[in-house]
Amino acid sequence: MGATNIFVSVNRLSIIDFSKDYDSESSCLLVKTEPPLPKWQALGFPFQLWTWFAFLTGLLIFGPLLTLLARCSINCPASDKAFTRLSYSWLYTYGMHVAAGSVRTPVQTSIQIYLAFLSIYCFIFTLAYSTNLTAFLTVERPPVGMEAIKELPQSGVFVIGVDKYYQEILRSSPDTNLQIMANSYQVHQESEDIFRLVQEGKGVFIDNHGYLEYTILTKFTKRGVASLRIMKECLSSHPVAMALQRHSPLKGKIDKIISRLLSGGLIRRFFLNSIRLAASAQNSEGGMEESNSDGRKESITVPLSLDHMQGIFFICAIGWLVSIGAFLVESMSSVSLFEDKHEERAFVNG
């Protein structure tokens, strides 16, 4: 029997038998990994856009609703009169959203019930945000890059291969996008030139998925971060199996063993262990992530630096600018009011 990277094909079935396929070889595209997004944007990552929209909408309407409830209440106690002011109600509900308690406790039953349920809402929202925020501050998030083949023609990059094999496949495809890729196909023999062009973002390299995984891990991974990646959508997939003599009595037993290996996830594990050992043997600059004796990654505590926390300084700066603007507006209003009173007094005395 033959055990190598043997593709199952109809032509080969006429002279040999195949075992159950234990792997698949996909022709995929190697592209440049986009640089991570700025750390200050991490403050917005815990929620999706529509979640933020719903949160901000609630922040805007909860204050006016509290004011309306206080104004419509019959025999509103004197201690709750502050809630009839829109500015106070807005600031009060804002404090609840940022987990800042208030010293004023309402006496009116309707206001108490309203704020009790609003407290539950704010508690869940702030807890969900704060728990997710820690992860987004410590883990770099790459922007959304090219993942589908249809995006390649608009990107302006060319396709690179070591020979014209893939170009013929692309050219004979009925897919228009693949035919366009065939027109921009270039052949390069030297791996240094290929990976340099990919890292510069000028081209994408097409080859089988296993080889691309091995290349990324051994040459372009440093401290767990890879400068190159594989696009999610691949061109084609070919099943890989063991070759057996026609009508071999071993086929049933081999198929049974392969099924057990697949169900246990061992085929994938063996492959990953192999490329890790290969990378370690080559003493690659990419470096392997340190693991303990049982193969699990060691947990490393990452202290938060100024780079992680830069977003809060932007918020403070924005707050200072807005407050200075409000101060200038108030000052101009006060000066204008003083001048009006001075002119009115002069007119009366005159």
The whole-number pLDDT of residue 305 equals: 65
The whole-number pLDDT of residue 251 equals: 92
Residues 163 and 74 in one domain: no
Q: Which of 33-47, 112-126, 221-235, 284-298 comes out lowest in average pLDDT?
A: 284-298
Query: Which residue would you say has higher pLDDT here, 347 or 70?
Result: 70
pLDDT of 341 above 70: no
pLDDT of 298 above 60: no
Q: Does 87 fall in a domain?
A: yes
Q: How confident is the model at residue 329 (pLDDT cuts 50, 70, 90)?
A: confident
Query: Which residue would you say has higher pLDDT here, 226 or 296?
Result: 226
Tell me the mean pLDDT in the region 225-252: 88
The whole-number pLDDT of residue 257 equals: 93
pLDDT of 226 above 60: yes
pLDDT of 164 above 60: yes
- Mean of the per-residue pLDDT values for the chain? 80
CATH number of 178's domain: 3.40.190.10
Tell me the mean pLDDT in the region 97-109: 77
Q: How confident is the model at residue 348 (pLDDT cuts 50, 70, 90)?
A: low
Q: Which range marks the domain in which residue 29 is found?
A: 23-35+145-240+265-282
pLDDT of 11 above 70: yes
The whole-number pLDDT of residue 312 equals: 66
Residues 177 and 277 in one domain: yes
Answer whether 74's CB lies under 8 Å from 29's CB.
no
pLDDT of 255 above 90: yes
Residues 73 and 91 in one domain: yes
Residues 115 and 219 in one domain: no
Among candidates 172, 181, 173, 185, which has minimal Cα distance to 151? Answer: 181
Tell me the mean pLDDT in the region 133-162: 78
Residues 29 and 162 in one domain: yes
Q: Does 306 fall in a domain?
A: no
pLDDT of 256 above 80: yes
Q: Which of 42-51, 162-171, 199-208, 312-321 comes out lowest in average pLDDT?
A: 312-321
pLDDT of 173 above 70: yes
Answer whether 111's CB lies under 8 Å from 73's CB.
yes
Q: How confident is the model at residue 288 (pLDDT cuts 50, 70, 90)?
A: very low
Q: Does 195 fall in a domain?
A: yes
Residues 53 and 81 in one domain: yes
Last-in-domain residue among 138, 160, 188? 138
pLDDT of 290 above 60: no
Last-in-domain residue among 87, 112, 138? 138
Q: Does 175 fall in a domain?
A: yes
Domain total of the chain:
2
- pLDDT, tens digit, 9 for 90 and up, residues 182-193: 888 888 888 888
Residues 167 and 278 in one domain: yes
The whole-number pLDDT of residue 245 equals: 92
Q: Does 16 fall in a domain?
A: no
pLDDT of 295 above 60: no
Last-in-domain residue among 87, 109, 138? 138
As a whole number of angstroms, the distance between CA 63 and CA 59 comes to 7
pLDDT of 90 above 50: yes
pLDDT of 302 above 90: no
The whole-number pLDDT of residue 283 equals: 54
pLDDT of 309 above 70: no
pLDDT of 281 above 90: no
Query: Which residue would you say has higher pLDDT here, 18 or 100?
Result: 18
Q: How confident is the model at residue 242 (pLDDT cuts 50, 70, 90)?
A: very high
